Amino acid sequence: MTLHSSQPDQLIAEINALREQEPDPFTAEPGEVVTHVREAGKLLEQADDIGQELLTDGQWRYLNDAAMRAVRFAHSRLEHDRNNAQHILRRLFRLGTVPAPDGSYQGELIALSTGLLSDPFFEWMTRIYLPWQGKNFVAAAQAGDNIFLDNAWSKATGRLGWPSYRVSNDTPPGTVRVFPFKTSISLDIEEEEVSVLRLDYSDSVNPLPVRRIVDEIVSLPGGYILGKAYMRGVRELRRVCYFGLFQS
């Protein structure tokens, strides 16, 4: 379906048509999901051209949140349709563009993706124990760090001086910033035709296991950021998870 509009009434009609044709979140083929998100992005661009104030709040949010909904629906499919859920995430990542994040972003783990049969077990464990809350970016410095809950575990390790980089944080309250990274524009490790923003943790202030991590992020229509984390092995980088970033 190719969508074109130059007038508000036509744009609203196309938004309504897109809503009526929205693929089922739990049974749709990956191609259907990606096409829906792509078309929502095109309508967002048209809304920016003619003025988003001409749309209702509901219409604007429907377009703006389409990619985020698709990612979260893919997350919900992992338990019963893991293969298609992973395929949707991969296709959505390929749809993204290089982001320019600045400031604090809330984070959410979308899916462990090591290719191992133990992934579902580790996802369950991670939902219970992972204190990661998001990332903080300083665009001018091409740098950033990660936001974690300042819980009993982090307080105990902090008293031991691990990690050595540790910044108290009030946004949100009760958090701490650790594990800094440097950012650069690069090509996707898995698919070289995709440009990404790469987050490199090789700085010596990071613990050795963290230095082996490389993140890649892209911006989807509406501004939701989809990321992949890799772990450096002996011979290659292995993708270990998908994650999302957003500003509320």
Q: Are 139 and 184 in contact (CB under 8 A)?
A: no
Report whether pLDDT(29) > 70: yes
Report whether pLDDT(122) > 60: no
Burial 78-105 (b: 16+ CB within 10 A, else e): beeeeebbbbbbbbbbebbeebebeebb
d(CA 147, CA 132): 6
User: What secondary structure letter does DSSP report for 221?
Assistant: T
**pLDDT for the residue numbered 110:** 95
| Residue in 90, 78, 63, 87 with CA at minimum distance from that of residue 223 | 63
**pLDDT for the residue numbered 144:** 97
Q: Are 105 and 247 in contact (CB under 8 A)?
A: yes
Work out the burial of residue 106: count CB atoms within 10 Å of its CB; fewer than 13 is exposed, 13-18 middle, 19 or more buried: middle
**pLDDT for the residue numbered 157:** 59
d(CA 164, CA 174): 19
What is the gyration radius of the CA atoms in the chain, in angstroms?
A: 19
**pLDDT for the residue numbered 164:** 73
User: What secondary structure letter does DSSP report for 97?
Assistant: B
pLDDT tier for residue 223 given thresholds of 50, 70 and 90: very high
pTM of the predicted model, to two decimals? 0.88
Spatial CB neighbours of 136, under 8 Å, sequence gap ≥ 6: 103, 104, 105, 144, 145, 146, 147, 169, 177
| Residue in 116, 142, 118, 105 with CA at minimum distance from that of residue 227 | 105
Spatial CB neighbours of 197, under 8 Å, sequence gap ≥ 6: 98, 99, 100, 101, 183, 184, 185, 186, 216, 217, 218
Q: Give tens-digit pLDDT for 80-117.
A: 999 999 999 999 999 999 999 999 999 999 998 765 54
Q: Are 37 and 16 in contact (CB under 8 A)?
A: no
Report whether pLDDT(5) > 80: no
Report whether pLDDT(121) > 50: no
Q: Give tens-digit pLDDT for 159-189.
A: 555 567 788 777 788 888 989 999 999 999 9
pLDDT tier for residue 233 given thresholds of 50, 70 and 90: confident
Alpha-helical regions (H) of the chain: 8-20, 30-50, 57-64, 66-77, 82-95, 119-129, 152-159, 208-211
